[in-house]
Amino acid sequence: MADPAGFLKFERQDAKAYPVKERIKSFNEFHEHLTRAEQKQQCARCMDCGVPFCQSGMVIGRMVSGCPLNNLIPEWNDLIYKDAWEMAYKRLRMTNSFPEFTSRVCPALCEKACTCGAEGDPVTVRGNEFSIVENAYEKGYAKAEPPRVRTGKKIAVVGSGPSGLAAADMLNHRGHSVTVFERHDRIGGLLMYGIPNMKLEKHIIDRRVDIMRAEGVEFITGVDVGRDIDAKALLDEYDRVILACGASNPRDIKVKGRDAKGIYFAVEFLRSTTKALLDNGLKKSFISAKDKNVIVIGGGDTGNDCVGTCVRHGARSLTQLEMMPKLPDERAEDNPWPQYPMVCKTDYGQEEAAEIYGADPRIYQTTVKEFLKDKKGNLKGAVIVSLSPEKNAATGQAMMREVEGTEKTVKAELVLIAAGFLGAEEYITKAFGVDVNERTNVKTAQDKFAASRERIFTAGDMHIGQSLVVRAIREGRDCAREVDRSLMGYSNL
């Protein structure tokens, strides 16, 4: 235990966000992180609990509580306090393939389950993780370590998101030869084109990919497996294939006027901004929100990212529609610690929109009933309607029903649909002939990763449905172990 009285002596101290009007001038990350000495003091707050819920990754009340990767959090908190930074990085990498990603984009399930947080402020676990990995890059601990022996086995990973990269990283270190196929022009999948720069600058991804490349992983971009390459050809060349293509089917809003010009899926919008930012400094070839009245449909992380991106574009106005009721500001009695707290969260995008436009952009229990278009087919507005929760008499489930007479017309020249994802894309599952479940995810046995067709495995959102980056990394690591065992008869991963 770093300091038995640390949680009593020291207050929680977080990285400070830049002022809104300053940070929206660019697409850069916008936090001023603590110094190493300050982060060391934060580690002293860790109680080294007898039961470290922070690293448990248990499902409580249908929600994950604690780190899905089972990161050894109290251990590396103690190592930082003792100035053993290199050892802390090694302990962190034992369980987490990409701490530089999770320390930026993870919602910190670990902190939600921290014992200090039961009656006060939790330990700054994500900030500690950030300091460990960034110090490792600065000092040269984070470097290429190619395997000394190769097994002669070849593995193809289709998709370069967090699960595909995690599987590739693990299997390459085992000594197998791994090739990663990505249909877009850059490696990273969701990390590259689904998460904006403000949360994860793309040189952070390139930095890790460069290490993996130096360790022997081969990356092939601009190739859409199942279309550009035949599935049979891939199976003929490789001993195993891992499908890690994500849950790429966006949920649509099928109402009158949906064919209006100016309606896009959120990921399409975010991808266009990131690609233009990297290709030409956002000077051309992207879906712009500048001077437009924008409606974002969906209240999750992706919806918030759309809001933050539109603020930086210079949107005229922003409205974010959420179908569900507003969550409480504090834990309800039936949602005790260490369950994940089901409370209202105001994220960076909503915070920015509130300051720039004078009000929180979110309207709860509301959806679009109709899109309105002009004579040229361009979007000019939307009819929105209030919703009310009602119980389905047959199933007992709560359903959102339209409230008659609450229709309202609002201006909109741009609508972004961030209503979630439905599952794997059909062309890829059909190309490989694998079975899918009722949610169109690739079907496997419970807690297994082998698909219905021999030598094919799956991981990440394509396997479990839309989820978090940290869970995708865990999926990739666990899938790698199962693939390794199928090849070698045992696994030491």
Whether the predicted pLDDT of 163 surpasses 90:
yes
If you average pLDDT over every residue of the chain, what do you get?
A: 96
pLDDT confidence of residue 397: 80
> Is 357 found in the same domain as 274?
yes
> Is 361 found in the same domain as 242?
no
Using one digit for the tens of pLDDT, what is the confidence trace for 375-401?
A: 999 999 999 999 999 887 777 787 899
> Is 158 found in the same domain as 125?
no
> Is 449 found in the same domain as 340?
no
Mean pLDDT of 23-50: 95
pLDDT confidence of residue 350: 97
> Is 93 found in the same domain as 13?
yes
> Is 366 found in the same domain as 225?
no
pTM of the model: 0.96
Question: Could you tell me the CA-to-CA distances from 13 to 16, 56, 357 in Å, in that order?
Answer: 9, 24, 29
Q: What is the CATH number of the domain that holds 364?
A: 3.50.50.60
Question: Could you tell me the CA-to-CA distances from 416 to 26, 175, 284, 408 in Å, in that order?
Answer: 21, 44, 19, 19
pLDDT confidence of residue 15: 96
pLDDT confidence of residue 393: 76
For the chain, the 3-state helix, strand and coil shares in percent, each to the nearest 5, are: 35, 20, 45
> Is 295 found in the same domain as 219?
no
Question: Among the three residues 372, 392, 417, which one is the final residue of a domain in this structure?
Answer: 417
Whether the predicted pLDDT of 62 surpasses 90:
no
Total domains present in the chain: 3
Q: What is the CATH number of the domain that holds 89?
A: 1.10.1060.10
Question: Among the three residues 417, 446, 480, which one is the final residue of a domain in this structure?
Answer: 417
Mean pLDDT of 463-488: 97
> Is 400 found in the same domain as 275?
yes
> Is 99 found in the same domain as 10?
yes
> Is 429 found in the same domain as 407?
no
CA distance 1 to 73: 12
CA distance 287 to 313: 10
Query: Would residue 446 count as lying in a domain?
Result: yes
Both structure tokens of 466: 């839309």
Using one digit for the tens of pLDDT, what is the confidence trace for 224-255?
A: 999 999 999 999 999 999 999 999 899 999 99
Query: Would residue 373 count as lying in a domain?
Result: yes
Instruction: Domain of residue 118: give its range.
Output: 6-139
Mean pLDDT of 466-476: 96
Phi, psi of 34 (to 5 degrees): -65, 155
Nearest to 417 by CA among 306, 286, 276, 274: 306
pLDDT confidence of residue 16: 97
CA distance 137 to 242: 29
Whether the predicted pLDDT of 1 surpasses 70:
no
Mean pLDDT of 431-445: 96
pLDDT confidence of residue 4: 83
> Is 323 found in the same domain as 347?
yes
Q: How many CB atoms lie within 10 A of CB 151?
A: 16
> Is 451 found in the same domain as 413?
no
Question: Among the three residues 87, 110, 139, which one is the final residue of a domain in this structure?
Answer: 139
